[in-house]
Structure 1
Amino acid sequence: MLARIKALRSGLRRSEQKVADLVLNRPNAVISAPIATIAEEANVSEPTVIRFCRAIGCAGFQDFKLRLAGSLASGIPYIYSGVNPGDRAEDLSAKIFDRAIATLVQVRNHVNTDALERAITLLANADRIEFYGHGASGIVAQDAQHKFFRLGVPTVAYTDPHIHSMSAAILKPGSAVVAISHTGRSADIVRSAELAREAGADVVAITACGSPLAEVSSVALFADVSEDTDTYTPMTSRIAHLTISDILAVGVALRRGPDLVKQLEKTKRNLAEKRVQGDPA
């Protein structure tokens, strides 16, 4: 929850940002405080506190407090100490591993399972699936396509905005798009998602809560990870996106049933022919 608030803060109203700052600075105090106290401490009205809760994806004030308490109860810090030039390999390793683990736990604890169920259903019933992404998200899109193409559905991954915009415009009902963006604010990705919806296709977004991409999608799966992607190459957000695409691929595979098992066995046999035979020892 703290990672989500930090990621969404810049898009909130100025009065809501005051509530966000209070929560980020004093999360444990907020858990036990009534709404009137929070409003007074943040110097805002009580309705503003409720609007803040809804703006970050909660049903209301009580839902927000429950989810915040669950986040803090995990005992895993939402921000890890940055690496330093003098770090030894063991320090660097520990920091990067801890950050990756904490990110996956955060996303797991806040994943909307109802949205996951809807996304899996859409993809399992699709007669064509296209994956869109740019930069690091483009690599995630290609990885997802590599998982899905073996499931017996025509798939393709596009990382060029001109190509996926043209493809989105000519999709047909029954097709599906998986649009991947950490910020959800890439204008080209958002526009292609809009074009796909206008063409009658469904759009599953893997993105940030409250983002423009989430707003135009059929189903949004949130991976709210605190990461400065304007300066640094996405790392932990990419891991979260890869894991969500794994969940979708496994879910679709299970939905497609016994016929898919036979197909996967056939591909495994073909791969076996390409391996050098011999004793691994």
Structure 2
Amino acid sequence: MAKSAKVSVNHETGGLIVHISGLLPSLSPAEQRVARLVVANPADAARRTITDLATAAETSEATVIRFCRSVGMEGYPQLRIRLAAEAARRVEPPDARVVGGDIPPGADLAQIIATIAFNDARAVEETAEQLDPAICEQVVAAVANAGRIDIYGAGASGFVASDFQQKLHRIGRTAFYFPDIHTALTSAALLGKGDVALGISHTGTTSDVVEVLEQARARGATTVALTNFPRSPITDAADFVLTTAARETTYRSGAMASRLAQLTVVDCLFVGVAARNRARAKKALEVTAEAVAPHRVGSRRRA
């Protein structure tokens, strides 16, 4: 399956800036300098000539053209048109200090709160906008029909993997999350056709998660990757790729915006699976809620 066909990202729908941000690690260093200027201020970049943009990025006009082609544009004129359209549709917060997500030295708590709230909300919105419903539907179908679902993630992504496993378990799906690489590998080695393995990695470069997904794929399981970067190594081990649109900023690398974006995708998948058999899911949620109800403070006194 060609990678372009399996990646759940649509920069026509979700925005060119989200698309460029996702491709950033796969660009050359010179192209990355161009990309950062474009992402930081699309309106300003749209007003620049190719010479102006190349000078600002400390590179050549030829590099700018290569950058355009790397992100799917035919040339610089098309890029300028798309950037102008992107700038026109973007809604910025009343306080311009929160744009970009970087928290400067000396920022007061009010600015910190506003910055985090705005950029976390943007990560969730942009993630939802660029998800391809057709790819998501295929993943939902695979999970709903799977004999077994293994979910893998490390660090902050591990919390998301555990959350998804618990959600699926609550509606009666056989799902497992293994935080230990050795246990994960042994579990993946026992998967087969009809099973699903989902690997979660913001960067797409977490070697443990990539290795486990490769093992699962070698055994015939359907593999799914959830990452912020559609050209990262984890996508080579995946039959389906779901992407987030989080931008890591000051104090937040790999831990906050990315986790919220991942949870957005996980929740979409969970509800999609539950909706395929509403009666069964509803009954399972009621039974499991009843099982834990006595462990809530005050429940016995109300009985």
Shorter-normalised TM range: 0.7 to 0.9
In the other structure, the counterpart of 1:236 is 257
Q: Is the 8 A contact 1:53 1:64 kept in 2?
A: no
Correspondence for 2:234 among 204, 213, 220: 213
In the aligned structure 2, how far is the partner of 1:214 from the partner of 1:229?
27
What is residue 135 of structure 2 aligned with on the other side? 115
**What TM-score, normalized by structure 2, do the two folds share?**
0.76
Gaps of 5+ in 1: none
Any conservation in 1 of the 2:103–2:112 contact (CA below 8 Å)?
A: no
Query: Residue 264 of structure 1 corresponds to which residue in structure 2?
Result: 285
Q: 1:156 aligns with which of 172, 176, 192?
A: 176
- Identify which of 62, 87, 92 aligns with 1:44: 62
CA distance in 2, matches of 1:122, 1:67: 37
Identity of matched residues, % = 31
CA distance in 2, matches of 1:59, 1:87: 44
Match of 2:123 in 1: 103
CA 1:18/1:260 → structure 2, altered by over 3 Å: closer, same or farther? closer
Aligned-residue offset at 1:254: 0.3
Match of 1:227 among 234, 237, 248: 248
Number of residue pairs the alignment of both structures matches: 272
1:134 aligns with 154
**Post-superposition offset of 1:130:** 1.0
Provide closer, same or farther for how the CA distance between residues 258 and 5 of structure 1 changes in structure 2, counting only shifts above 3 A.
Answer: same
Deviates more, 1:103-112 or 1:249-258: 103-112
Cα distance change on mapping 1:198 and 1:59 into 2, 3 Å: farther
Counterpart Cα distance in 1 of 2:36 and 2:265: 29
1:170 and 2:190 matched:
yes
More displaced stretch, 11-20 vs 219-228 = 11-20
**Structure with more relative contact order (C-alpha pairs < 8 Å, separation 6 or more):** 2
Deviation of 1:200 (Å): 0.7
Q: 1:2–1:68: 8 Å Cα contact kept in structure 2? A: no
Q: Structure 1 residues 260 and 71, CA, compared in 2 at 3 Å: closer, same or farther? A: farther
| Secondary structure of 1:242's aligned partner | helix
Please give the secondary structure, in 2, of the residue aligned with 1:148: helix
AA matched with 2:134: D
Q: Deviations over 1:47-69 (max 9, x none)?
A: 73553123xxx899969965883
Q: Which runs of 5+ in 2 are unaligned?
A: 1-15, 55-60, 93-97
Alignment deviations for residues 11-62 of structure 1 (CA, whole Å, 9 cap, x no partner): 21356446525523652255589xxx659954127973553123xxx89996
Deviation at 1:182, TM superposition (A): 0.6
Report how far residue 7 of structure 1 moved. Answer: 5.0
Q: Which residue of 2 aligns with 1:11?
A: 26
Computed over aligned residues only, the root mean square deviation of the Cα atoms, in angstroms, reads 3.3
Deviation digits for residues 235-261 of structure 1, max 9, x if unmatched? 110111112111111110001232232
Equivalent residues of 2:135, 2:240 under 8 A apart: yes
Contact 2:149 2:176 in 1 (8 A): yes
